């Protein structure tokens, strides 16, 4: 029994060291690992984009596909290593970055069954978000957390606002259907609803437009209303941002819950209590 104890301790130390290299950017090894990873991600995205260009694909398609497979295998090994080094693999697998890491390798394997599925590898672009950790831009991590908290705090107001806007669009679309009718392209209430949404958001595709004076007057009112409405959600989120606190954070990652928003002098994770 006793001779197995050092083995377990060595294994724990090995996993801890690998965790620091893969998940954290506080050490030279961790920073080097993440920089290489970012370069490989950029290379894989360039390969995917070049393969979509017909002349390049015709001449170098085979080489590009080989590069995609090599990079996918490397990312697969990296994903497996991440699962191996955390205390709760399932929790990491279901986290945002865990799902992104998985989505970064699935399309290549999926292309064996569905031709062209490898184009979905552009999802790997989301992994470039790690650049903020790698380059020690922790202030951006703090700002990102602050923005996320502001959006969370204002979600009820934004949902109510969107509900009011959709209700107004439905009423306006119905009125336009009654005013213009099928002759002007407003052949149904859903078509009028679509026109109202496009007009109020100031997109204005121009695929359908009123021709009667009354319809044009209503359209002008909706356009002006659209400019006023755009400022509402911006003001809601901005007010929450003004109230938000700006905590200092580090790139220290918890092995247990993967949280990264720790204070600079923290010794334990403030979410689960795990020692950092």
Residues near 192 by Cβ (< 8 Å), separated by ≥ 6?
172, 173, 174, 175, 176, 177, 180, 186
Quickly tell me which residue has 């938000």 as its tokens: 244
Distances (CA, A) of 151 to 33, 72, 137: 32, 34, 22
Per-residue pLDDT of the chain (276 residues; tens, 9 = 90+): 443 344 455 555 777 778 777 777 667 787 788 788 888 888 888 888 888 888 988 888 889 889 888 988 998 998 898 888 888 888 888 887 788 888 878 888 887 787 766 667 677 777 766 655 555 555 555 566 666 676 777 778 778 888 888 999 999 999 999 999 888 889 999 999 999 999 988 888 888 889 999 999 999 999 988 887 877 777 766 666 666 555 555 556 676 666 666 666 667 776 777 776
Per-residue pLDDT at 225? 87
Q: pTM to 2 decimals?
A: 0.55
81's tokens: 């290593």
> In sequence order, which residues have a C-beta less than 8 Å from that of residue 20 and are 6 or more positions away?
26, 27, 29, 30
The predicted pLDDT at position 129 comes to 64
SS3 category, 227: helix
Buried residues in 37-46 as b, exposed as e (16+ CB within 10 A):
bbebbeebbe
Q: Which strand (E) or helix (H) includes residue 57?
A: helix 54-85
- Residue 253: per-residue pLDDT: 66
According to the model, what pLDDT value does residue 197 have?
A: 92
CA separation for the pair 43, 63 (Å, rounded): 13
Task: Give the pLDDT confidence score for residue 54 in this predicted structure.
Answer: 85
Q: Are 121 and 45 in contact (CB under 8 A)?
A: yes
pLDDT of 3: 38
């Amino acid at each position: 029994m006793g001779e197995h104890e050092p083995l377990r301790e060595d294994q724990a130390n090995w996993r801890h060291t690998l965790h620091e290299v893969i998940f954290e950017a506080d050490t030279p090894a961790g920073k080097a690992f993440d920089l290489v990873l970012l370069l490989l991600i950029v290379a894989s995205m360039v390969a995917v984009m070049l393969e979509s260009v017909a002349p390049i694909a015709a001449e170098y398609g085979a080489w590009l596909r080989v590069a995609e497979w090599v990079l996918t295998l490397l990312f697969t090994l990296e994903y497996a290593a991440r699962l191996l080094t955390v205390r709760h693999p399932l929790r990491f697998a279901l986290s945002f970055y865990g799902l992104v890491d998985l989505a970064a390798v699935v399309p290549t394997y999926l292309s064996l069954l569905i031709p062209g599925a490898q184009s979905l590898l552009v999802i790997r672009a989301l992994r470039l978000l790690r650049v903020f950790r790698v380059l020690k831009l922790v202030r951006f991590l703090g700002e990102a957390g602050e923005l996320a908290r502001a959006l969370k705090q204002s979600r009820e107001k934004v949902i109510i606002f969107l509900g009011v806007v959709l209700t107004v669009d439905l009423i306006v679309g119905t009125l336009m259907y009654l005013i213009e009718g099928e002759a002007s392209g407003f052949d149904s209430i859903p078509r009028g609803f679509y026109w109202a949404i496009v007009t109020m958001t100031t997109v204005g595709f121009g695929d359908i437009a009123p021709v009667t004076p009354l319809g044009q007057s209503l359209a002008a009112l909706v356009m002006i209303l659209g400019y006023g409405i755009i400022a509402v959600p911006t003001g809601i989120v901005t007010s929450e941002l003004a109230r938000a606190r700006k905590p200092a954070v580090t790139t220290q990652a918890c092995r247990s819950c993967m949280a990264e928003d720790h204070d600079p002098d923290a010794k334990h994770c403030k979410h689960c209590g795990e020692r950092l």
